[in-house]
């Protein structure tokens, strides 16, 4: 019997490792994406349009902060559930997944993990529901892979902090109501602050002319003598471990999400290969096409097993930064390679908006760079296995 997809490639019966709740969550998110994202995503991407109405819809379906406790408006779910949600959203589009993953992992997570009870109660329910959109300010124009070099700073003015500096390549920033921002104090220690839309001197210019993540809004954060109340400082974290802890959560989501993009490219290529006739038979009947499809499915299967195991370790509190780093790098590299192979199977049609291939490919060019570049993740693994850091 020919292998048939049941909605996602599952060549190794990985569904047997999932609970019924996991499968229900997957179906709910898959239906949501098919209804709310897939019919419009090509036009949004072509027009470089961020559909701001999607934010409330994400909140309604539970895509924001799935692992945050229900008392703060989150889903109270496990990490495999979170991964599945990111996978299904990125089957739709990486930019849409970026919107959700920034909100959950980079805004809600630090407020929950490092914030006060007052901060949790004030911000998390509004972020979970999609009433507010948040962003995460770490990367600077001159400091990406070396976040410790940041120049954004705060000065203690007695009853408030004075924030100055800028951040670059910030997903959600043009539309955000709140930003979790990392800055150095007078002692050079990195601190986290919650900055709200409307604070004087705070602006969020949009970045235009992107060839990637075109349905996602990206911008800067600019701070010109912004007065931030003392109660907006995240009290329970100090140093670089704060933002890096957030990135662990986000990178974990990406490791699942990128598989979603790969699945969408693979399934499109598989379907096309059975329908496209050349030399009197479907191109899926030629050896080189079968080689491409077989290799795609193999790589997707390997990545699925890796992220399932990583999700289990996350649930047990055993996953390391280095393990998360390896999975993020592997999944995105795999997805980008599959997008390129799928483009070839589609021939000339692969460059058109009739198929999702080029959109995924361009999106993944951002995903392979953000939240730790392809090469930096290699060096994280290298340092872990040799004990010698090669960053400097």
- What's the mean pLDDT when you consider all of the chain? 96
pLDDT at 6 over 80: no
Q: Return the sign of the alpha-carbon dihedral for residues 125, 79, 232, 118.
A: positive
pLDDT at 5 over 80: no
Contact status, residue 107 vs residue 49, Cβ threshold 8 Å: no
Rounded Cα gap, residues 390 and 377, in angstroms: 11
Active site residue 371: yes
What are the beta bridge partners of residue 196? 178
Tell me which long-range contacts 58-63 makes (C-beta under 8 A, separation of at least 24): 58/99, 58/100, 58/103, 58/130, 59/128, 59/129, 59/130, 59/131, 60/129, 60/130, 61/28, 61/29, 61/32, 63/29, 63/32, 63/89, 63/100, 63/104
pTM: 0.96
Rounded Cα gap, residues 298 and 314, in angstroms: 24
Average pLDDT (30-56) is 98
Confidence of residue 391 (pLDDT cuts 50, 70, 90): confident
Q: What tens digit of pLDDT does each residue of 244-300 get?
A: 999 999 999 999 999 999 999 999 999 999 999 999 999 999 999 999 999 999 999
32-67 b/e with 16+ CB inside 10 Å = b?
Answer: bbeebbbebbbebbeeeebbeebbeebbebbbbbbb
What are the beta bridge partners of residue 193? 181, 233
Q: What is the pLDDT of residue 7?
A: 63
Pairing relation of β-strands 160-171 and 153-156?
antiparallel
Q: What is the pLDDT of residue 392?
A: 78
Q: What tens digit of pLDDT does each residue of 221-242 get?
A: 999 999 999 999 999 999 999 9
pLDDT at 2 over 60: no
Q: What tens digit of pLDDT does each residue of 354-384 get?
A: 999 999 999 999 999 999 999 999 999 999 9
Q: What tens digit of pLDDT does each residue of 133-161 get?
A: 999 999 999 999 999 999 999 999 999 99
Contact status, residue 188 vs residue 176, Cβ threshold 8 Å: no
How many CB atoms are closer than 10 A to CB 188?
Answer: 8
Q: What tens digit of pLDDT does each residue of 322-349 get?
A: 999 999 999 999 999 999 999 999 999 9
């Amino acid at each position: 019997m020919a292998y048939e997809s049941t909605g996602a490639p599952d060549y190794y019966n990985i569904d047997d490792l999932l609970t019924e709740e996991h499968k229900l969550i997957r179906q709910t998110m898959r239906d949501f994406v098919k209804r709310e994202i897939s019919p419009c995503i090509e036009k949004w991407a072509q027009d470089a349009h961020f559909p701001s109405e999607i934010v409330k819809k994400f909140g309604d379906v539970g895509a924001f902060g799935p692992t945050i406790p229900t008392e703060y408006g989150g889903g109270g779910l496990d990490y495999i559930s979170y991964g599945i949600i990111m996978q299904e959203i990125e089957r739709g589009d990486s930019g849409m997944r970026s919107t959700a993953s920034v909100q959950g992992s980079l805004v809600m997570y630090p407020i929950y993990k490092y914030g006060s009870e007052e901060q949790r109660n004030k911000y998390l329910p509004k972020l979970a529901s999609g009433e507010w959109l948040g962003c995460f300010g770490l990367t600077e124009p001159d400091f990406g892979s070396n976040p410790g070099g940041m120049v954004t700073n705060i000065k203690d003015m007695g009853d408030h902090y004075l924030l100055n500096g800028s951040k670059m390549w910030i997903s959600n920033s043009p539309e955000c109501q709140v930003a979790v921002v990392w800055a150095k104090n007078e002692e050079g220690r990195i601190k986290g602050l919650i900055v709200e839309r409307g604070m004087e001197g705070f602006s969020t210019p949009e970045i235009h002319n992107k060839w990637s993540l075109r349905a996602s809004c990206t911008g800067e954060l600019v701070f010109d003598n912004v007065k931030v109340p003392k109660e907006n400082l995240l009290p329970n974290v100090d140093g670089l471990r704060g933002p890096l802890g957030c990135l662990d959560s986000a990178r974990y989501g990406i490791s699942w999400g990128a598989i979603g993009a790969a699945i969408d490219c693979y399934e499109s290529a598989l379907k096309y290969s059975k329908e496209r006739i050349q030399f009197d038979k479907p191109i899926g009947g030629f050896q080189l096409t079968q080689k491409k499809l077989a290799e795609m499915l193999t790589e997707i299967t390997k990545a699925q097993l890796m992220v399932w195991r990583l999700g289990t370790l996350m649930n047990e509190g055993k996953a390391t930064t280095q393990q998360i780093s390896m999975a993020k790098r592997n999944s995105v590299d795999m997805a980008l390679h599959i997008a390129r192979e799928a483009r070839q199977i589609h021939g000339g049609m692969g460059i058109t908006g009739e198929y999702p291939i080029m959109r995924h490919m361009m999106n993944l060019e951002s995903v392979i760079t953000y939240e730790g570049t392809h090469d930096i993740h290699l060096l994280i693994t290298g340092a872990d296995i040799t004990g010698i850091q090669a960053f400097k």
